[in-house]
Amino acid sequence: MTHDFPSDFVWGAAASAYQIEGAAYEDGRGESIWDRFCSTPGKVRAGDTGDVACDFYHRYREDIALMRELGLEAFRFSIAWPRVLPSATRPVNEAGLDFYDRLVDALLEARIRPFVNLFHWDLPQELEDAGGWPERRTAEAFAAYAETVGDRLGDRVKDWITHNEPFCTSWLGYGLGAHAPGRTSVKDALAAAHHALLGHGWAVEALRRTAPGAEIGIVIDPWPIHPATDSPEDVTAAYAEDGIRNRWFFDAVLRGAYPEDVLERFTDDAPPVHDGDLATMSTPLDFVGVNNYSRRTVRADGRGGVIEVRAADGELTNMDWEVYPAGMHESLVRMHREYGVDSLYVTENGAAFADVRGHDGQVHDVERIAYLDGYLGAIAAAVAEGVPVRGYFVWSLLDNFEWSLGYSKRFGLVYVDYPTLERIPKDSFHWYRELIAASRAAALAS
Ligand code: FCB
């Protein structure tokens, strides 16, 4: 239960706009692709929407009080792009920016470092109507949006993230149809990924101008892809899948090149690369954020693809994700050794379990505590081996809207009773609080 971390290690929690804010129709917010997706029958479990979510938009002060109780040092949240720029033809929505202004000030007042993420999947619907991420002009719009937010918050926010998990933006949204906007085209997915990363590069430039001295990074989500057996077929298939899922993104951002084997596989659907794009995408960063929850185990399907295999003895969370702390260790080591990243944060990690309130009104989430403890042990082991991990953000502070699974998956350290929106700290909240306090005490004593 006690793991060693550097004395300046940052303890945080993460969340995103659409998953917690609610207030979907207030103060001039425009429609996002997630509003549209949620209102399309059959897309989101039980017809759930982010209309109210955790009502963080109105309750953020109460939630910051919880963060203080927890001893949180940093809070990673995202800005809802359609709150700031509801439409390409209308001016900046000052009321939307004002909300983030108040939020940043309230966090700073509570001595909690805001880690501001510009894009966590809620693209303005109007931009989707004009073609969405597969279009280059969406990357241009993203750069302008970054500039607007940087202008307003850059004097106070010192830690910025451009994109959260560009794999999900592109493949889940445009390739596999599981997320908004729900398209199923490989060509669109690869073009979307290209423009998301291009927009990332331009946004870094915009933030360097508008938030001088700030640290800027991107959040990627390495999922180790392991072969089910060591047969050459399975090993080759796992490597190919790793190319699509992981190397495509890591190589573009960290090496300025797409992996040859993946390009060859997708020659008919190749992304529209202009001269200089890859240099823009691989502009130097101050840190890379790693979101890791689990791994995938696969075998060759005999047709160039893979079939998912359930790991024999792995425990599963309520997402059906295998509990596999070694995958966190592997991902961090990979970023550092293979890709030369010398500044990392774990920007998301956590677990959904079927939490219930007991007779005492409390939530005794022992499985979550065990999960977090195992993963923190894996992170501490990486740190001990010289991997430069600077902080950890648990996903998530509150139970929230889990995308196409709606409110059915609870990841929070705080239970949210959705009908009343009451917040009930779970046992894991108290556990994390003690861990942060102990780590801080150890740092002071050293
Ligand atoms: C990540 C997302 C985050 C949340 C967790 C469970 O992929 O970034 O919004 O849904 O998974």
Q: Write the pLDDT tens digit of every residue in 28-74.
A: 999 999 999 999 999 999 999 999 999 999 999 999 999 999 999 99
pLDDT value at position 168? 98
The confidence band for 1, taking pLDDT boundaries of 50, 70 and 90, is low
Known active-site residue 402: no
Choose among 100, 109, 116: nearest CA to 152: 100
Known active-site residue 165: yes
* d(CA 420, ligand 1 centre) in Å: 24
The yes-or-no verdict on residue 438 having pLDDT over 70 is yes
What are 429's two structure tokens?
A: 């909240």
The confidence band for 446, taking pLDDT boundaries of 50, 70 and 90, is confident
The yes-or-no verdict on residue 154 having pLDDT over 60 is yes
pLDDT value at position 206? 98
pLDDT value at position 3? 84
Least confident of 5-19, 21-35, 41-55, 80-94: 80-94
Which of 85-89, 269-273, 308-312 has the largest mean confidence? 269-273
pLDDT value at position 88? 72
pLDDT value at position 90? 78
Q: How far is residue 64's CA from residue 399's CA, in Å, rounded to a whole number?
A: 15
CA 403 to ligand 1: nearest atom: 10
What are 385's two structure tokens?
A: 């081996």
Mean confidence (pLDDT) of the chain: 97
The confidence band for 147, taking pLDDT boundaries of 50, 70 and 90, is very high
Is any atom of ligand 1 closer than 6 Å to the C-beta of 49? no
Q: Does the pTM exceed 0.95?
A: yes
The confidence band for 87, taking pLDDT boundaries of 50, 70 and 90, is confident
pLDDT value at position 222? 98
* d(CA 17, ligand 1 centre) in Å: 12
